[in-house]
Chains A and B, each alone.
Chain A
Amino acid sequence: MSVLIVAEHLRGQVRPITLELVSAAKELGEETAVAVIAKDPAALADQVDVEGVKEIVSVKVEQDDFENDVYREAVEQLISDRSPDVVLVGFTVNGMGYAPALAAKLGIGFASDVFAFRRDGDDLVAERSFYGSKVNAEVEFPGHDRVLLMIRPTAWPPAEGDGAAVEAKLDVAITGSRAILIST
């Protein structure tokens, strides 16, 4: 399965969830690309070049920090360009900002707060909790060739080890940001 990870960064640092997503992706296959959406993606790319990452896709945008619409549009264009089987996003406040919107718009499979998954033949089966974490459930995605999963932080350990990822870049067209960061 090909996996696209959307790197998360804050105040100039890649957040641990990104490397946790790399560990999660290792369970799905060898084809893992990490997209870094930033004003200066090159400055962050080194931080995600860990073992298990095959490709780092730099996506240059005007914004230094996270803005919802920018990610919505950039990730949509990444998905269209890369055609991943699985998109992994952190179950974080940034992820909540754009990932459900994108999954709804694209009509792809979706589950959030996922803390485990496995392949069952060609199918992907994810595990998440319900009812205040009192029960767990296996969820499946019948009829979907593409699935976006939001992954619970700390469910996987952060990936480490030197990487040898190929560098790539994708030009994206952002039509505008309707929710602008004005201060931190």
Chain B
Amino acid sequence: MKIVVAVKQVAVLGDEVEFTEDERDVDPDYLDFALNEWDTYATEEALRLVEAAGSGEVVVVSVGDEDVEDAMRRCLAMGADRGIRVEADGRRDPIQVARALAEVVQGENADLVFAGVQSSDSVQAATGGALAGLLDMPSVAVVTRIELGDGKATVNRELEGGLVDVVEVDTPAVLTIQTGINEPRYATLRAIKQAEEKEIEVRAVGDLGEPASHVRKMFVPPKGEGAEMLNGGAAEVAQRIQEIVQEKLA
């Protein structure tokens, strides 16, 4: 059982923001970096399936410069066996990321390919799907349960409004993993130390093609109209909230 997990180091913006001179992105000084939350669940799910199978390998793949190895090492500390980083810098749209990953993923001949449903910084929910499109693999988006069969997997697909579809998908397949599918393990200090020794192979990026989109300008959203600040003590604020709700319902 081999599972490839596509992971991303995401940028987290604090309360203050400044933009780069060309206004096309946030000034990196205002960003912190972390492993994408969805990808921790995807990694955990891959680890559990390989552990249940009794043997196999979890391979994490990512696109970016050397810094993204921090996020990849988190996955290795959780128990992933090795990593492959596709060397690239600058902003990429999700279809370009999928192009960067496609060859690596194909070369691994995995039984399953996971990606998080979306990344917390870009929220395109597209990389996993785009990868499936490029590799012409079957895929299911927003998966909340996986049961492996012979050449197939039975998965739950979480729809809006709490509805669920049960889907039987041919494998190998690309599944995008939803948060809450499991409870990701914490890496022990010892595992974090050991992860430093695990292999992250670096590959050169291929042709990423034309960007599917291009940021023209970033800006702070205009403040919503109609916001009313409620001042005063708790009882006073609660009273005012009650009045507003009653006004809206009237």
Contact = CB atoms under 8 A, between A and B. Distances in A.
B176 A96 contact: yes
The B interface, classified by DSSP as helix, strand, loop or mixed, is mixed
Contacts of A97: 129, 139-141, 157
Contacts of A180: 167-169
A100 B125 contact: yes
A182 B124 contact: no
A10 to B, nearest CB: 7
Interface in B148-180: 154, 157-160, 163-170, 173, 176
Interface stretch (A29-37, A44-52, A77-85, A105-113): A105-113
Nearest to B164: A184
A23 B26 CA distance: 32
Interface residues of A, number: 55
Contacts of B133: 72, 100-105
Interface stretch (A53-61, A133-141, A156-164, A166-174): A133-141
Nearest to B99: A104
B22 to A, nearest CB: 12
B132 A101 contact: yes
Contacts, number: 183
Contacts of B164: 184
A110 B160 contact: no
Interface size for chain B: under 10, 10 to 19, 20 to 34, or 35 or more residues?
35 or more
A150 B94 CA distance: 13
A103 B13 contact: no
A131 B13 contact: yes
Given A96-B125, A113-B125, A179-B168, A103 B140 contact: no
A178 B31 CA distance: 41
B214 A139 contact: yes
Nearest to A148: B212
Contact of A136 (B140, B142, B214, B221): B221
B109 to A, nearest CB: 17
Interface string A103-145: 1110111111100000000000110011111111111111110
Interface string B209-234: 11111111111110000000000000
A5 B37 CA distance: 32
Contact of A99 (B129, B176, B220): B129
Interface string B97-140: 01100000000000000000100111111111111111010111
A136 B218 contact: yes
7 contacts: A68-B140, A103-B133, A126-B213, A129-B221, A130-B26, A143-B210, A180-B168
Given A138-B216, A184-B163, A179 B138 contact: yes
B59 interface: no
Contacts of B221: 129, 133, 135-136
Contacts of A134: 13, 17, 220
B1 interface: no
B12 interface: yes
